[in-house]
A and B are shown apart, each in its own frame.
Chain A
Amino acid sequence: MKLYAKYFSMHIKSQMQYKLSFFFTCTGQFLVAFATFLSIHFLFARFDSVGGFTYEEVLICFAVMIMAFSLSELIGRGFDRFPILLGNGGFDRIMVRPRNVVFQVLASQVEFSRLGRFIQAVVVLAFALPRSGIDWTWDKILTLIFMIVCGAFLFFGLFVIYAAFTFFTLEGLEFMNILTDGGREHGRLPFSVYGDGVLKFLTYVVPLALVQYYPLLYLTGRTEDMRYMFVPILALLFLIPCRAFFKLGMRKYKSTGS
């Protein structure tokens, strides 16, 4: 942990050397999220609700997913850029060091410009929370925190799977982006909106709905069942197969030789 803190401050320092570039990437992240927000806003100028959810409820969804995603991207960017690490032989160097591999990949990159996206989500959340008509008792606040934090872990797991695929293909696989970027983009609407098939898939196969739809039901008072509050924690089980898959990939790994 102490070592990670050292890496962390090192990354801050190095990225702050290029302040202008950092600022622009940050702004870019903010703007992309803002454009998505605007399109939701325009849609709800026309429609009162979607799938039974109101504007404010959808905004909570949107903000939670973006926060979860940008947090995991900030920390887990090393896995997102894993194809590069494999391609340039950086991973070989990691393997020979006497430290945990996952830790080193994590520490290899911290992407602070993702804060731009995070800030946009904070603004939206600050707008939506008081207007949502939710009575903010401690259990609701806790549910919200569970959604964001467990969501971040879940996205992180998806990045790890993406990285693990690279062991077999040596290239980044674009189709994973439907789960990572797609999870963020389409997660702006509660997953039930997309119909039963999608909801089942996102409950049992890639449990994104566990950090979004089910706790949202409790948050908005659609169910009184306290169990829904802890459903996001269940989603953490997904990290076990992610880790296993990464381990499997590592055993199969042959260096690219460069």
Chain B
Amino acid sequence: MIPARGGLRSPYLALFRIRFTHSLQYRAAALAGFATQFAWGFMYILAFIAFYESNPHSFPMTLPQTVSYIWLQQAFMSFFFIWFYDNSIFSAVESGEIAYELARPMDLYARWFSQTSANRLAAGALRCLPLLVVAIVIPAPFRLVLPTEGTRILLFFASMFLAMGVVVSLTMLVYISAFSTINSMGTRIVVGVAADFLAGGYLPIPFFPDVLRFAVELSPFGAMQNMPLRIFSGHLYGEAMMQGLALQVFWLFALLLIGRILMKRALRRVVVQGG
């Protein structure tokens, strides 16, 4: 049963659309989320200002760059944080429901990939706009400074797209590991915390000690939120920015490939739980 050309990708797109509109239903939650994230971002900025005042010379970014970094991080949280798992996938694997999924004429990797991306995009779509609007109009030093060059904005979107791809393809590895562990909670937690820390979710990567910073910037974790947020704020530019983007493309394809291979191997010996 080979679908007609053009219709080849449509089931994944349809799935994406269903998930997206489903998540958009929770408008009140989005509003509460906006207020919360605004307050969190504000507190983080106040803390960074205090550190900045204690010694401006040790600060690895400028203050406006740090402020932009934090606002964007809050706005696009659901795009970038690993812990934003799709728990229904884990429970499908653990409960044995996965048998139905396997019976469908769909590629499981692509299916999970689009499902996870849709969840992340929808959760962020409602939240980011009000937060960004408010962050742009509040007075300095809290204001989110927009880049003036058009190319920077374009590259930011490109980088954000790649970063999300890297994040989702890493999450895919965690999903796939669930096939071989039965109880995936351990992997979920350890990978979640470690990856989010290394990606700069707790502290932006430029604040890391030099050796660690160098290593992390080359790793897939440096290809996540680190890149788009620093491109937008103007902390990365020129050659370093281009290298970073290339690295993002590399990690995206590498992780996709690894995920595909592991998925194939896992499915070959999959044991369906339960009856």
Q: Which chain A residues have a beta carbon within 8 Å of chain B's beta carbons? A: 20-21, 24-25, 27-28, 31-32, 34-36, 38-39, 42-43, 45-51, 171, 173-175, 177-178, 182, 185-186, 189, 193-195, 198
Contact = CB atoms under 8 A, between A and B. Distances in A.
4 closest residue pairs by CB, A with B: A28-B189, A39-B203, A174-B32, A31-B193
B100 interface: no
A39 B190 CA distance: 17
Most buried by B among A39, A49, A173, A189: A39
Contacts of B208: 42
Given A43-B51, A43-B207, A46-B55, 20 more contacts: A21-B183, A24-B189, A31-B190, A35-B197, A39-B197, A46-B58, A47-B51, A48-B55, A50-B50, A51-B50, A173-B32, A174-B32, A174-B36, A177-B36, A178-B36, A178-B39, A182-B43, A189-B47, A193-B47, A193-B50
B36 A25 contact: no
B194 interface: yes
Contact of A194 (B50, B59, B194, B203): B50
Contacts of B60: 46
Interface in B36-87: 36, 39-40, 43, 46-47, 50-51, 54-55, 58-60
Interface of B: 28-29, 32-33, 35-36, 39-40, 43, 46-47, 50-51, 54-55, 58-60, 183, 185-186, 189-190, 192-194, 196-197, 202-203, 207-209
B29 A174 contact: yes
A34 B202 CA distance: 11
A244 B208 CA distance: 46
A50 B83 CA distance: 30
A50 B51 contact: yes
A186 B196 contact: no
Contact of A174 (B33, B59, B190, B197): B33
Contact of B202 (A25, A36, A175): A36
A194 B41 CA distance: 12
Nearest to B58: A46
6 contacts: A28-B185, A39-B203, A48-B55, A175-B35, A193-B50, A198-B46
B208 to A, nearest CB: 6
Contacts, number: 101
Contacts of B51: 43, 46-47, 50
A48 B46 CA distance: 18
A40 to B, nearest CB: 9
Grouping DSSP codes into helix (H, G, I), strand (E, B) and loop, the B interface class, with mixed when no group exceeds half, is helix
A186 B43 contact: yes
Contacts of A28: 185, 189-190, 192-193
Contacts of A174: 29, 32-33, 35-36
A178 B37 CA distance: 8
Contact of B185 (A24, A45, A49, A51): A24
A181 to B, nearest CB: 9
A187 to B, nearest CB: 10
Contact of B54 (A32, A42, A51, A186): A51
Contacts of B186: 20, 24, 27
A42 B39 CA distance: 24
Nearest to B35: A175
Nearest to B210: A45
A36 B55 CA distance: 21
Given A35-B196, A46-B207, A195 B189 contact: no
A32 B193 CA distance: 6
Given A47-B51, A47-B54, A42 B207 contact: yes
A27 B28 CA distance: 33
A173 B29 CA distance: 8
A12 to B, nearest CB: 20
Contacts of A48: 54-55
A46 B54 CA distance: 10
Given A21-B183, A186-B47, A47 B55 contact: yes
A189 B50 contact: yes
Contact of B203 (A24, A25, A43): A43
Contact of B189 (A27, A189, A193): A27
